[in-house]
């Protein structure tokens, strides 16, 4: 028997997540589709890695002082990761979130001891946007830093230095493609750059939800969006610093319906309860696998746990109100 290594501190629980072969998606693609189980991080999302790297970077640069405060604007998952990392290291957190995000994320942040500030959803150019609000609060609060996950490249370094080498090792260096959706772009750019460092031939694909502008950008050089998505944490309209130089070879656009179908199938057929960005990623991985052909091996990110969306994705009334199909077993 090989048990996971014993760890000397709780922050070492971040990363080193399992990689799992996904049966239904592999059958649908005619090749191997693997999912990186980021819901297995202590904060139950991929964003724990970014939070830890951003904090360690701010400490190393001498910006974050003992007992200081970390301020961040987030769809929620980065805030949850940040609150846990901050608690472990003796910092305080102020988290700014758009009020459109799931109630579970807000309740979780309060439960973890973060100071939660919610703001109305607004376009990025609006000064009330959660990112700008968080920057202002960081400037006003004493002994505080702004984590700035969108344009702080310590975020993508987390994936260059941890997620990518883990995937490479877990797939024994036999991997043909990787894809995921973009919030900050840290995961796509970081895993993409990291994997290309091992083997330039690995195909890196963007999987964009509707309503985001990156599909058009990578296809035609123009930031342009159409439609919309209820997926939380993904859907970007600009080239963040984390995205600059991302090695994107090809791109897919995936609807919420398609992503939700995979969320439902992964739950009922494989026993995985995930959020919608994971379903969209899996749909993108199936599309990439089909393109790369039989015998190829593709990896994607299972970003967070579905328990974070009981009031939304797993709620018949909510799905109906959004005009989305309701899972059979919720009817």
166 vs 232 by CB, closer to ligand PMP: 232
Alpha-carbon distance 54 to 190, whole Å?
14
* Window contacting ligand PMP (CB under 6 A); options: 113-121, 140-148, 210-218, 226-234: 226-234
Residue 148 lies near ligand PMP (rule: CB under 6 A): no
The Cα 269–Cα 315 span in angstroms is 19
Determine, following the binding rule CB under 6 A, whether residue 75 of this chain makes contact with ligand PMP. Answer: yes
d(CA 165, CA 198): 8
Cβ partners under 8 Å of residue 236, min gap 6: 182, 183, 184, 185, 212, 213, 214, 243
Among residue numbers 291 through 330, which ones bind ligand PMP (CB under 6 A)? 303-304
Find where tokens 């994107």 sit: 248
CB of 266 to ligand PMP, least distance (A): 15
SS3 63: coil
Q: Which of 234, 274, 302, 319 binds ligand PMP (CB under 6 A)?
A: 234
Complex with ligand PMP: residue 179 or 184, whichever CB lies closer: 184
Per-residue tokens: 19: 């990689």
Nearer to ligand PMP, 77 or 93 (CB): 77
Q: Which residues pair with 209 in a beta bridge?
A: 254
Nearest to residue 280, comparing CAs of 27, 31, 35? 35
The residue whose two tokens read 């960005």 is: 277
Q: What is the dihedral of CA 284, 211, 194, 302, to 10 degrees?
A: -50
Q: Does 54 engage in binding with ligand PMP (CB under 6 A)?
A: no
Binding mask 259-298 for ligand PMP (x = CB under 6 A): ----------------x-x---------------------
Listed ranges 43-51, 63-71, 164-172, 315-323: which one lies at the site for ligand PMP (CB under 6 A):
43-51
Active-site residue 47, yes or no?
A: yes
253 is an interface residue for ligand PMP by CB under 6 A: no
Report, in Å, the least distance between residue 267 CB and ligand PMP: 16
User: How many CB atoms within 10 Å of residue 127?
Assistant: 9
Active-site residues, by number, are 47
Where do contacts with ligand PMP occur on this chain (CB under 6 A)? 45-47, 75, 77, 181-187, 232-234, 275, 277, 303-304
């Amino acid at each position: 028997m090989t048990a996971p290594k014993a760890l000397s501190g709780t922050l070492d629980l971040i990363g080193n997540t399992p990689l799992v072969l996904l049966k239904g998606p592999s059958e649908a693609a005619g090749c191997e589709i693997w999912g990186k189980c980021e819901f297995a991080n202590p904060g139950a999302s991929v964003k724990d890695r970014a939070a830890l790297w951003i904090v360690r970077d701010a400490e190393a640069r001498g910006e974050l002082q003992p007992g200081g405060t970390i301020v961040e604007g987030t769809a929620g998952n980065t805030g949850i990761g940040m609150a846990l990392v901050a608690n472990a290291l003796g910092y305080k957190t102020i988290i700014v979130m758009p009020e459109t995000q799931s109630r579970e994320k807000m309740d979780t942040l309060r439960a973890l001891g973060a100071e939660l500030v919610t703001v109305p959803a607004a376009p990025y150019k609006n000064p009330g946007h959660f990112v700008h609000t968080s920057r202002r609060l960081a400037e006003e609060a004493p002994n505080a830093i702004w984590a700035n996950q969108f344009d702080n490249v310590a975020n993508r370094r987390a994936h260059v230095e941890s997620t990518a080498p883990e995937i490479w090792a877990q797939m024994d260096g036999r991997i043909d493609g990787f894809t995921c959706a973009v919030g900050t772009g840290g995961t796509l750019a970081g895993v993409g750059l990291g994997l290309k460092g091992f083997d330039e031939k690995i195909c890196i694909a963007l999987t964009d939800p509707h309503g985001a502008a990156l599909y058009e950008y990578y296809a035609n050089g123009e930031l342009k969006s159409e439609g919309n998505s209820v997926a939380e944490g993904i859907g970007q309209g600009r080239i963040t610093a984390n995205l600059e130089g991302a090695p994107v070879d090809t791109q897919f656009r995936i609807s919420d319906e398609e992503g939700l179908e995979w969320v439902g199938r992964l739950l009922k057929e494989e026993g995985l309860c995930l959020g919608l960005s994971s379903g969209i990623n899996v749909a993108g991985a199936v599309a990439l696998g089909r393109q790369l052909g039989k015998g190829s091996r593709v990896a994607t990110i299972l970003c967070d746990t579905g328990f974070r969306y009981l009031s939304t994705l797993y709620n018949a009334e909510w799905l109906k109100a959004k005009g989305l199909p309701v899972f059979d077993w919720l009817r």
